[in-house]
Structure 1
Amino acid sequence: MHRLALGSLVTVASLLSPAATPASATPPQHLPNKATPHLPRPAAAPHLPSKATPHLPKPAAPHLSKPAPHLPKPTGSRVVGVTSLHLKDTSRPDPWVPSVKMRELMVSVWYPATSKGKRAPYMTAKESALLLKDGGITGVPPGVLATTRTNAYTDAKPRGRKRGLPLVVLSPGFKKPRATLSAIAEDLASRGYVVAGIDHTYESVATQFPDGRVTTCVPCEGERDPSTFTKAAKGRAADVSFVIDRLTGKGTWKGAALIDRSRVAMAGHSLGGASGLAAMAKDGRIRAGIDIDGTVPPNIPDADLARPFMFLGKPDTYTPGSGRPETATWEQAWKRLTGWKRWLLMTGAQHESFNDLGPLAAQLGLDTGAQVPGPRSWDLTRTYVGAFLDLHLREKPQPLLDRPSPSHPEIKHVTP
């Protein structure tokens, strides 16, 4: 099997080093007719790796004979619906392209549904092609991720009682589209949650809008230092608050009345997880949060935070006392967390083991270097994310969050 160094591209720390600029996509119609401006090139952060991020090797040959990739079946009993929303925040300009006078977002909403219908796509072919190109993967069909079989049904009728469903907001990693957290989203929806996954425009290598426009990643073009990611985390916090406003208000989504506004949480992968701390510090409606393998930018949170929070990561990067710069960011944030908190590590994981990309890569015959198999990493991630949310949004006791579980020996409980 060909070895794929996928995980090396996606930690916040490694992304601060020089990286290849993604190929241009169809420019947004509202942008000026000139190249997207590069961000300033500040000096490299002293506590972060200085070497260039390696390109991904190409698989030896296309894997055209393999069946289409697929997401794992949800563990809950409910049918899952999903709808896509194109939201516009006219109260602020885009933080990355100030000439765009509003913040446009694409949001997927997964939810319990009454019946099945047309199976939803995973992502568009253009998004798939740009995501694979950014990773340097050319030995598989460029649109292969768009063929991924999901378990959700497009625009199915929502099911639930008024104010009966908790809301969970998901934020993907830097450069990654919202689709990469679909397995978590589908699973939570099957168990009675409404889940909103956000594409943070100009931070993903590809976001396609309903009119066909495709935006690419602006801060990916050039070197980055911690201030870039502090800016991104705070911008994502504003995105999250706006999405909560719209989903719980009238006229945006037909299932809005089903959402219990008093039970809102946030989870995210990589920068998306770290952004949860920024969002919770800004928005008191978010009762609990999870950072999944995400290095925390400086000064986030900037004050003590008493609401529940969980770190879930890999030992190679986040073992307390290791002296690694990534670990130090968790240790610093840990001191600010004054309420219920946990620090869990998944043995054998790589960075993409926690989202869909690692397991899907394995289905395509690509080796990410993870020791934990893709189906198992999906199972572990969904189990612990679900347990955390059931505890803090539904007040259901979760012993596996209090002590090691014989059924989940890969998960280690640690205390800094």
Structure 2
Amino acid sequence: MGKVKARVVRRKGWAIGALAVAAALVAVPVGAQMAAGTGEPAASPGRGAASVGTPDADARTAPLTLPAPTGAHQVGTVSLHLLDRQRGDPWVAGQAHRELMVSVRYPARGVGREAEADAARAPGQYPVAPQLLPREAAAFDAWNSFFEHIPKGKVDWAATRTHAHQGAPVARHRGRLPVVLYSPGVGDPRSLGSSLCDELASRGYVVVAVDHTYEPPGVQFPDGPVARSVLPAEMARAQKTGRITELLKKVTAVRVADTRFVLDELEKWEKSEKREVRGKQEQRVRGGLPALPEGLRGALDLRSVGMFGQSAGGFTAVQTMHDDRRIKAAVNMDGVMGYTQRDDGPSNPSTVGLDGVDRPLLLMGKEGNTHHTVASWGAVWEHSKGWHRDLTLRGSGHAGYTDAASLIPQIARRLGLPRKAVTETVGTIDPGRAVAAERAYVSAFFDRWLRGRDGGLLDGPSARYPEIRFVR
């Protein structure tokens, strides 16, 4: 086969793209549509315009920005290296243990205005966390699977900052804090969900985002090495041998196992003992448990655990809820829930498709994706006995449920990219409105089912969010 122009197939819920390399066709996950947030207004090109504005500078001259969270709390974060000694790595032969990186976000104190008012606190004691570490950013740029329009080396992916402060102490609270896990799309780093994770933390949740090692372009571990993605090679092998279905099943099984292991680790944290040391409460770290920011250990309510994700991460959330009773509610943002590359394909159903779920489920789809058009959604919808809703974000694209909704318009404006660079990835919806709607409905869902707080937003259409369509 001759060399084929690189392309991505963004309509797939599994977000599997295709990239021709030399003579071999290698499918690469785009689910990624990797990037992050907007703090800037959307570009508004005229109808039929060929590009989104005029290039105003190399994107390296001004970091891309993510929208600030709107909850009552500042946000703290810590990144943790977890080692599963009960499981060999499923992607790398001979690697005896599965290693993961997770980011934990939580409501924090001692930052922002509080820190400024505390003269004893050293400036910058809790710096704002970057979205991607330097080596992760370099790997991300090298893969560059967003779309063919972004030239390598034109975006400083390491310069973007989240709104979470590293190591800040947990905000004072009554009772324990509900927990929400996040799983990204196939090939995406966990950091592509930073904005929504920051938002939930600012509203009083502990949010744990998981990197599924050897899927993203690069996962950076504390001692320096970067685990590079094996998915392009795995997809090429699966295409050659006709085992695509088996590969999709393996990806899901690994992700679910990763998530259940993280839940096990959270339970270990909560069971660790406390002791008095020099008049202060200090955590006793036992059995390799990580050192956590002040107030985090013992703060988790593991009876109130939810999960959400985008693309394959959404499938992971619902499949994990099916397999593990510890997950009480799940949100699937535009993820196909079967082992197929066709949204409308009913073949090779998952167990959650065959059985449904008996706990609350929220489906949020891009324009055109509903339980009437996505076969695996229809199967889950038909067989589920628990509360469930299906919402469409009007005018949205598949990557619009990630930080790409904010980042791509910024990149397009600065580099003078064609309009389709934006619309084919995140859709035609204004990015600010997309972010606001996603925050509102995901927060309302978890507030209702993890906290017992129901503001009625999920009962029917709202004039505040006309972008959301309830699918019956």
Same-fold call, TM cutoff 0.5: yes
C-alpha spacing 1:332/1:75, structure 2 compared with 1 (3 Å): same
| Corresponding position: 1:111 with 2:103 | no
TM-score, structure 2 normalization: 0.73
| Corresponding position: 1:368 with 2:422 | yes
Q: Which residue of 2 aligns with 1:19?
A: 19
> Counterpart of 2:454 in 1: which secondary structure?
coil
Task: Provide the C-alpha distance between the structure 2 equivalents of 1:171 and 1:214, rounded to a whole number of angstroms.
Answer: 19
What are the superposed Cα offsets for residues 202-242 of structure 1, whole Å, 9 maximum, x if unpaired?
Answer: 11122111122112222332137233222222221111111
Q: Which has the higher mean CA deviation after the structures are superposed, 328-337 or 298-307?
A: 298-307
Matching of residues 326-345 of structure 1 within 5 Å: 327-345=374-392
| Corresponding position: 1:134 with 2:144 | yes
Q: Which residue of 2 aligns with 1:399?
A: 456
Matching of residues 354-393 of structure 1 within 5 Å: 354-365=401-412, 366=417, 367-369=421-423, 370-393=427-450
The CA deviation at 1:252 is 3.0
C-alpha spacing 1:74/1:106, structure 2 compared with 1 (3 Å): same
Whether contact under 8 Å (1:96, 1:219) holds in the other structure is: no
What are the superposed Cα offsets for residues 29-57 of structure 1, whole Å, 9 maximum, x if unpaired?
Answer: xxxxxxxxx9xx9xx9xxxxxxxxx9xxx
Q: Which has the higher mean CA deviation after the structures are superposed, 248-257 or 205-214?
A: 248-257
Q: Which amino acid aligns with 1:91?
A: Q
Matching of residues 11-410 of structure 1 within 5 Å: 11-15=12-16, 18-20=18-20, 63-64=58-59, 67-116=62-111, 117-132=126-141, 133-135=143-145, 136=148, 138-139=150-151, 141=153, 144-161=156-173, 164-221=176-233, 222=236, 223=239, 225-250=244-269, 251-252=289-290, 254=292, 255-297=296-338, 298-301=349-352, 302-316=354-368, 318-322=369-373, 327-365=374-412, 366=417, 367-369=421-423, 370-410=427-467
> Counterpart of 1:368 in 2: which secondary structure?
helix
C-alpha spacing 1:216/1:101, structure 2 compared with 1 (3 Å): same
Q: Which residue of 2 aligns with 1:47?
A: none
C-alpha spacing 1:186/1:6, structure 2 compared with 1 (3 Å): farther
The CA deviation at 1:64 is 3.4
The CA deviation at 1:163 is 5.0
Whether contact under 8 Å (1:10, 1:173) holds in the other structure is: no
Q: Which amino acid aligns with 2:370?
A: T
Task: Provide the C-alpha distance between the structure 2 equivalents of 1:109 and 1:6, rounded to a whole number of angstroms.
Answer: 34
Q: Which amino acid aligns with 2:450?
A: L
The CA deviation at 1:19 is 3.3
Q: Which residue of 2 aligns with 1:27?
A: none
Whether contact under 8 Å (2:59, 2:155) holds in the other structure is: no
Whether contact under 8 Å (1:66, 1:364) holds in the other structure is: no
Whether contact under 8 Å (1:249, 1:256) holds in the other structure is: no
| Runs of 5+ consecutive residues of structure 1 not aligned to the other structure | 22-37, 45-53
> Counterpart of 2:76 in 1: which secondary structure?
strand
Larger Rg computed on CA atoms: 2
C-alpha spacing 1:66/1:147, structure 2 compared with 1 (3 Å): same
What are the superposed Cα offsets for residues 51-89 of structure 1, whole Å, 9 maximum, x if unpaired?
Answer: xxx9xxx99977337631111111111110011000000
Q: Which amino acid aligns with 2:422?
A: T
Q: Which amino acid aligns with 1:129?
A: A
Whether contact under 8 Å (2:14, 2:312) holds in the other structure is: no
> Counterpart of 1:246 in 2: which secondary structure?
helix
C-alpha spacing 1:162/1:240, structure 2 compared with 1 (3 Å): farther
The CA deviation at 1:141 is 3.4
Q: Which amino acid aligns with 1:300?
A: T
Whether contact under 8 Å (1:7, 1:352) holds in the other structure is: no
> Counterpart of 2:229 in 1: which secondary structure?
coil
| Runs of 5+ consecutive residues of structure 2 not aligned to the other structure | 1-5, 28-32, 34-50, 112-125, 270-288, 339-348
Task: Provide the C-alpha distance between the structure 2 equivalents of 1:282 and 1:320, rounded to a whole number of angstroms.
Answer: 21
Task: Provide the C-alpha distance between the structure 2 equivalents of 1:163 and 1:139, rounded to a whole number of angstroms.
Answer: 49
Aligned residues: 374
Task: Provide the C-alpha distance between the structure 2 equivalents of 1:7 and 1:345, rounded to a whole number of angstroms.
Answer: 23
The CA deviation at 1:253 is 5.2
> Counterpart of 1:310 in 2: which secondary structure?
strand
> Counterpart of 1:256 in 2: which secondary structure?
coil
> Counterpart of 1:398 in 2: which secondary structure?
coil
RMSD after superposition: 2.8
Task: Provide the C-alpha distance between the structure 2 equivalents of 1:13 and 1:64, rounded to a whole number of angstroms.
Answer: 30
Task: Provide the C-alpha distance between the structure 2 equivalents of 1:207 and 1:175, rounded to a whole number of angstroms.
Answer: 11
Task: Provide the C-alpha distance between the structure 2 equivalents of 1:353 and 1:156, rounded to a whole number of angstroms.
Answer: 30
The CA deviation at 1:137 is 5.4
